[in-house]
Amino acid sequence: MEYVIVFLLIIVLVLLVINLFRRNDNSDMTERLGRFEVNITKEMNQDFSNLNDKMEQRLNAINDKVNERLDQNFEKTNKTFTSVLERLSKIDEAQKKIETLSSDIVSLQSILTDKKSRGIYGEVNLKHIMENVFGVNDKIYKLQYTLPNSTIADCVLYAPEPLGTIVIDSKFPLENYQMMVDKNLSSTERAMHEKQFKIDVRKHIDAISSKYIIPGVTAEQAIMFLPAEAIFAEINAYHSDILDYAYRKKVWICSPTTLISTLSVIQMIIKNIERDKYTSIIHEELNKLGLEFSRYKDRWDKLAKSIQTVNKDVENVHITTEKISKKFEIINQVEVAKLGDEEIEKTTESSK
Encode 45-76: b = buried (16+ Cβ within 10 Å), e = exposed. eeeeeeeeeeeeeeeeeeeeeeeeeeeeeeee
DSSP readout, 8-64?
HHHHHHHHHHHHHHHHTT-HHHHHHHHHHHHHHHHHHHHHHHHHHHHHHHHHHHHHH
Cβ atoms of 178 and 200 within 8 Å: the answer is no
Three-class DSSP category at 150: coil
Q: Which residues have C-beta within 8 Å of that of residue 270, sequence separation ≥ 6?
A: 140, 159, 160
pLDDT in tens, 5-26: 556 666 666 666 566 555 554 5
Query: Which one-letter DSSP state was computed for residue 1?
Result: -
Q: How far apart are CA 309 and CA 300, in angstroms?
A: 14
Measured between its terminal Cα atoms, the distance across the chain in Å is 184
Cβ atoms of 272 and 162 within 8 Å: the answer is no
What's the pLDDT at 174? 82
Q: How far apart are CA 218 and CA 164, in angstroms?
A: 6
pTM: 0.51
Topology of domain 114-272, per CATH?
Trna Endonuclease; Chain: A, domain 1 (3.40.1350)
| E-state strands within 31-174 | 141-146, 152-158, 165-170
Q: How far apart are CA 4 and CA 148, in angstroms?
A: 117
Query: Residue 249: which of 224, 229, 227 has the closest Cα?
Result: 224
Range from 62-66, 114-118, 292-296 carrying the lowest mean pLDDT: 114-118
Domain residue ranges in the chain: 1-44, 114-272
Ranked by mean pLDDT, the top range of 85-99, 101-115, 290-304 is: 290-304
Query: Residue 253: which of 299, 292, 201, 295 has the closest Cα?
Result: 201
Q: How far apart are CA 204 and CA 188, in angstroms?
A: 25
pLDDT in tens, 305-326: 777 777 777 777 778 877 777 7
What's the pLDDT at 156? 93
Strands 165-170 and 152-158: antiparallel
Query: Residue 252: which of 265, 239, 267, 262 has the closest Cα?
Result: 262
Q: What is the mean pLDDT of the chain?
A: 76
pLDDT (mean) for 173-202? 88
Query: In this model, does residue 279 exceed pLDDT 50?
Result: yes
